[in-house]
Amino acid sequence: MNYKVDFHTHTIFSDGGSTPEEMIDDAIAGEVKAIALTDHDNIEGICEVSRLAKENNIDFLSGIEISALCKDGRIIHILGIGIDFDNSEFLKAYNEMKQARHESVSNILSIIKQQGINIDINQLKENSFRKYLDRYDVYKYFIENKMCETAQGIWDKYLDPIPYGEKELFRVEDAIKVIKQAGGLSFLAHYNKHMGFAGLDNDQIEEEISYLVSLGLDGVERYYPSYSEEDYKFLDYLINRYNLMISGGTDYHGKNRPDIKIGSGKDNNLAIPYEIYTNIINRLEHLSIGKNKICLSRSLL
């Protein structure tokens, strides 16, 4: 099958620029057959995107992109695909993380104020449609008020330099564990980026991935818009060496990254095989939640 698929997408429920409706419209226009919603550290868009996907005959997998803290202090992103977001262990850990982030917003605004930018937290609360505030609401304020030339510039200049507080991040071992507890599969996202293992040589990266595999990591993001031919060769080596599952996605952010198109990447540089969706579904069928989980992932209501 030559259907387009995309298992790395973001909406306005994290740092994406598109509503669930707009994302599905883009998927329809791009002839995308299967998607996973993987908002950063957030699951609030899953029900709406799932409903819209079902209405438009698009296969859907629930997901999340978890910011995870490694033992050396590096932050990496772990994709949880096919999660049951009603799982009690997952929700307990998730809500603790979100509450900690909510409580940190005042401190973030104080630090930004020292740079001459005064943001009223009450205005953030009024404009937010999510249960918890976090630094993504600050990011949206910058976007809406056109206060930085690029979306990435907001993170580079203002938000990424502010360290996360205690309990705002999952430790990487806990991220993988909670994804498994929720019946999902864990994939290392964009290994080559700053929120990955950028700056390390291949031997060092292999050592890090070997450690993640020992923690229960299921696979890697094999398809990604910024990968080079050398990246693909190295990933194929790792996949074969460690018997890793494959995922892939565009890191779609809608209007906030208009050069990246859902299902096809940048200038049509991605063609993610539909069989990846089939392989993920087949693996999910063997997890403890079984076929009820597959039903949930395809037609979440």
Q: What is the pLDDT of residue 1?
A: 57
**Domains of the chain listed by start with CATH number:** 4-87+171-298 (3.20.20.140), 95-159 (no CATH)
The amino acid occupying position 73 is G
Q: What is the pLDDT of residue 128?
A: 87
What pLDDT is stored for residue 271 in this prediction? 94
3-state secondary structure of 169: coil
Helices (H), 45-128: 46-55, 88-113, 121-127
* Coil vs helix vs strand at 214: helix
All residues at 6 or more sequence positions from 46 whose CB lies less than 8 Å from its CB, including other chains: 37, 62, 63, 85, 300
Residues ≥6 apart with Cβ < 8 Å to 112? 119, 138, 158
Helices (H) and strands (E) in the chain, counts: 11, 10
> Are 192 and 227 contacting, i.e. CB atoms less than 8 angstroms apart?
yes
Please tell me the distance from the alpha carbon of residue 155 to that of residue 164, in angstroms, as a whole number: 13
- From the list 87, 70, 20, 12, the residue with the least C-alpha distance to 42 is 12
Q: What parts of the chain have a pLDDT lower than 70? A: 1, 288-301
pLDDT at position 294 is 41
Tell me what pLDDT residue 149 has. Answer: 80
pTM of the model: 0.92
pLDDT of residue 286: 77
Specify which residues 75 forms β-bridges with: 69
